[in-house]
Amino acid sequence: MSDDRWVVLGLAHPRVEWFSRLSRWSTAAAIPVDFIKCVSSDEVLARLNSGRQYSALLVGGDVSGLDRDLIDSVRIAGATVIVVGSVVERGWTELGVAALLPEEFERSDLLGALTDHAPPIAQVSAVVRASPIEYESTWRGQLIAVTGPGGAGSSVVAMATAQSFASESSNNSMVLLADLALNAEQGMLHDAREVIPGIQEFVDAHRVGKVPIEQLRSLVFEAVGRGYHLLLGLRHHRDWTAIRPRSFETSLDGMLRSYRLVVADIDHDFEGEKDTGSRDVQDRNHMARTVASTADLVVVVGVATTKGIHSLTRTIRELATVEVESERIVAVLNRTTRNPRRQADAADALASLLAREQSVGDIGYPIFVSERADIEVALRDGVRLPNNAGKSLHAQLVDRLGSRSRSGGSGDVFHRTAEPVPVRPGSLGHWKDESP
């Protein structure tokens, strides 16, 4: 991430010297800072609420409106506040200010403060096509969504799914595990020591156009020893407000352009504006709704208890609200016994409950994943899961993906979203009259 830069907001009186000096440094690329001038605290708040990420706010100590509320708003947005030229001691540290700089600060002073206190922003330049009729590759990978009620183990099932597909030689480093849950936990399960970049930076890179594959891959981490790549999720539940719907949809397309298989760990809440009357609820659930509605398969994980099967049935029923057909749903009962009789009883109970749902068709026999003590040991030690973890699930998913391809459900993995490509005038040659 050596190309990272700081995106800095500035708020000061227009004629102060440091304001102009910092602007010149930024324009001349003398410092790795994108400097954005603001004329009022209201403009600062509007930019913070726009969804774009910022590293810091550099603000004059004598600016009107510099108070606890403004500082707190900056901190909630993930940025820090650096006060410049404070002549009055106001207990800045107690207010939440990260650092103080004199008005005559040098470049080294500024860079030191930013390095110590402000998060850099991944610098990814989007490629905006000059002509809409340039050839665009229609290659797309396949998408498996994994969801389930809390406590069912859907995140671990997503890990096992990604690892099992990545173990195939043709899929090595071509499988992406994307953590798209609001309460993202894949970073913890993988013992990730870094939290940046993640889905926020990935989506932000797609705000103005498509991004080259090699730059997309620079925004994910290699799951060492597991064969797949990991896209970290939201750092806080509230950060869903930074995920713009259209940018996320383009980001999902970018994932499928870059990998043969994307395994997405998503929430089990699919309510939208039509269900609740709230646009905010739909925006909050946009990642789960979009992934579920476009996935080749949706793996729904539950546990074989009375409450677990009830919750599993409810989640399957809610998938119908985002138009997920029954043939795309794969029910998984996790941490089950190996006793065939008990497995049959659990399958019968699930089938009985689903039979009452008019919106749900036949989803087939559930897949049973047995309880294993060595999985918890692997998670605790931060190492890859046992090689045969999810083996039965992997075989079933491969068969279901193959069946959908043969039936035209998802199409060939290389041409599943092929669309007509406009022909450039003159690119096909011309007829030549034959001589008599």
Question: Each residue of 5-49: pLDDT tens digit?
Answer: 899 999 998 788 999 899 999 999 899 999 999 989 999 999 998
Confidence of residue 387 (pLDDT cuts 50, 70, 90): confident
For 225-241, what is the mean pLDDT?
94
Query: 380: part of which helix (H) or strand (E)?
Result: helix 373-381
Q: What is the pLDDT of residue 341?
A: 95
- Per DSSP bridges, beta strands 175-179 and 56-60 are unpaired
Share of the chain above pLDDT 90, in %: 61
Greater pLDDT, 77 or 143: 143
The single residue listed with the structure tokens 């080294």 is 108
Structure tokens at 99: 């650092």
Residue 382 has pLDDT above 60, yes or no: yes
Helix (H, G, I), strand (E, B) or coil at 299: strand
Query: Can you tell me the distance from the alpha carbon of 81 to that of 12, in angstroms, rounded to the nearest whole number?
Result: 13
- CATH fold of 142-406: Rossmann fold (3.40.50)
The set of residues, in sequence order, having a beta carbon less than 8 Å from that of 140 and lying 6+ positions away, is 253, 256, 257, 413, 414, 415, 416, 417
Q: Are 331 and 350 in contact (CB under 8 A)?
A: yes
Question: How confident is residue 107, by pLDDT bands cut at 50, 70 and 90?
Answer: very high
Question: Considering only CA atoms, which of 15, 5, 6 is closest in space to residue 85?
Answer: 15
Residue 349 one-letter amino acid = A
Model confidence pLDDT, tens digit, residues 397-428: 999 998 877 666 654 333 344 445 566 565 55
Among 151-155, 188-192, 413-417, where is mean pLDDT lowest? 413-417
Residue ranges, comma separated, of all CATH 3.40.50.2300 domains in the chain are: 6-117
pLDDT at 427: 52
Residue 78 has which token pair? 């993930």
Cβ–Cβ < 8 Å for 227, 173: yes
Label residue 339 by pLDDT band (50, 70, 90). very high
Higher pLDDT, 362 or 207: 362
E strands present in 123-224: 142-147, 175-179, 221-222
Rounded to the nearest 10 degrees, the angle between the axes of helix 340-354 and helix 306-319 is 40
pLDDT band with cut points at 50, 70 and 90 for residue 391 = confident
Structure tokens at 306: 């009375």
Per-residue pLDDT band at 3 (split at 50, 70, 90)? low
Q: Which residues contact 312 (CB under 8 A, 6 or more apart)?
A: 148, 149, 152, 300, 301, 302, 303, 331, 333, 350
Rg (CA), the chain: 26
CATH architecture of structural domain 6-117:
3-Layer(aba) Sandwich (3.40)
Judge residue 230's burial from the number of C-beta atoms within 10 Å of its C-beta, 0-12 exposed, 13-18 middle, 19 or more buried: buried
Average pLDDT over residues 124-134: 47
Residue 431 confidence (pLDDT) above 70? no
Mean pLDDT throughout 252-275?
95
What proportions of the chain, in percent to the nearest 5, are helix, strand and coil?
40, 15, 45
For 36-68, the DSSP string reads: EEESSHHHHHHHHTTS----EEEEETT-TT-SH
Name the strand (E) or helix (H) holding 80: strand 80-84
DSSP state string for 110-143: HHHHHHHH---B-----B--S-TTS-------EE
Question: Can you tell me the mean pLDDT for 315-322?
Answer: 93
- Whole-number percent of the chain with pLDDT over 70: 87
pLDDT at residue number 420: 56
pLDDT tens column, 158-170: 999 999 999 998 8
**Of the candidates 434, 148, 166, the residue with the CA atom closest to the CA atom of residue 311:** 148
| Helical ranges in 295-358 per DSSP H | 306-319, 340-354
pLDDT given for residue 403 in this prediction: 80
196 pLDDT band, cuts 50/70/90, is confident
Spatial separation of the C-alpha atoms in residues 97 and 162, rounded to whole Å = 43
Beta strands 229-231; 221-222: pairing state: antiparallel
